[in-house]
Amino acid sequence: MRLKALCLLLVPILLVTACSRLTFVRPKNKIESLPGQQTAPEYSVGDSPDVKRRQSVQILLARAMQRLQSGEPDVAEKDVRAALKLDPGSVDAVTILAVIEDQRGHASVAGQHYRRAAELAPTRGAVQNNYGTWLCANGFAAESLVWFDRAIHAPGYATPGSAMANAGSCALKAGQNDRAAHDLREALASEPSNAVALEAMAELEFRRQQYLPARAFIERRLAAGPASVAVLKLASQIEERLGDRAAASRYVQRIRAEFPDAQDVTTGGNAGP
């Protein structure tokens, strides 16, 4: 089952505007004061060192993300390290380091960074969700639920349904079917087209041998986003249990056509109860 993509909530770069910079410009032509008239003092006020430091950090991180998206993780890391020198507690910088290590295939190192970010920002739901996602994807499904709970209840978290869907999916992976059912239904009540929740609900109903509901959920999942090998295999298995071998075969044909590198693809698959 596929978890929701990690949420990198980087702070937008602060543009130098009238809101962030207050400047009194010295006039080019000095005005002579009249006798007995006082001249107001002239000021030049710029950004404080702290504001400049924060802006530099944001610019470095934005550039790091661009480098990472362009396939230049080593260059991206240099920018992130520079940002961390300016702000050792930058949650966004630590999160980007985690993504870089994930892309390099260094799962253990990435996990350390995700946890560090979660500890630095205990009230940022997206950051807690990131670490929970990493835990579940790396064999710690039961442990991930604590972090998803923190994400769900984080104040101001804009998308708790995403964390709820991940929690339900990982509860299912951990064998906690009752919790999975609760979390997945809550997620779908919040986001009816959440692909993670729909796929997990289809799998849950399949395990319960409730094949008609499983079919309904897998069809909604296929309508919600691009298919994956796992989704199409599950769809094939469901149709096989329902006795529709033609439909099961069509899903297998889709796997072969859309994912030619997939291995051991047979009608109905070999998983399930």
* Matching fold, domains 123-191 and 196-273: yes
Task: Tell me the two tokens of residue 34.
Answer: 């009249």
Q: 157 by DSSP, 3-state: which?
A: coil
Task: Convert the pLDDT of each residue in 226-248 to its tens digit.
Answer: 999 999 999 999 999 999 999 99
Helix (H) or strand (E) run with residue 251 in it: helix 245-258
In whole angstroms, what is the distance from residue 134 CA to residue 138 CA? 6
Task: Convert the pLDDT of each residue in 181-221 to its tens digit.
Answer: 999 999 999 999 999 999 999 999 999 999 999 999 999 99
pLDDT for residue 2 is more than 50:
no
| 48 confidence band (pLDDT: 50, 70, 90) | confident
| 268 confidence band (pLDDT: 50, 70, 90) | low
Instruction: Write the CA distances from 47 to 8, 57, 152, 199, integer angstroms.
Output: 27, 15, 37, 50
- Mean pLDDT across 11-29: 33
Amino acid at 132: G
Instruction: Write the CA distances from 124 to 8, 120, 183, 268, integer angstroms.
Output: 11, 9, 20, 42
Contacts 24+ apart (CB under 8 A), 189-192: 190/160, 190/161, 190/164, 191/161, 191/162, 191/165
The domain over range 49-120 is classified in CATH as 1.25.40.10: yes
CATH topology of domain 123-191: 1.25.40
Asked whether the whole model's pTM tops 0.95, one would answer no
- Choosing among 1.25.40, 1.10.3470, 2.60.40, 1.20.120, the CATH entry for 196-273 is 1.25.40
CB 166 within 8 A of CB 196: yes
Task: Convert the pLDDT of each residue in 50-60 to its tens digit.
Answer: 899 999 999 99
In whole angstroms, what is the distance from residue 95 CA to residue 114 CA? 6
Domain range list for the chain:
49-120, 123-191, 196-273
The pLDDT value given to residue 267: 57
At residue 258, φ and ψ (nearest 5 deg) are -90, -25
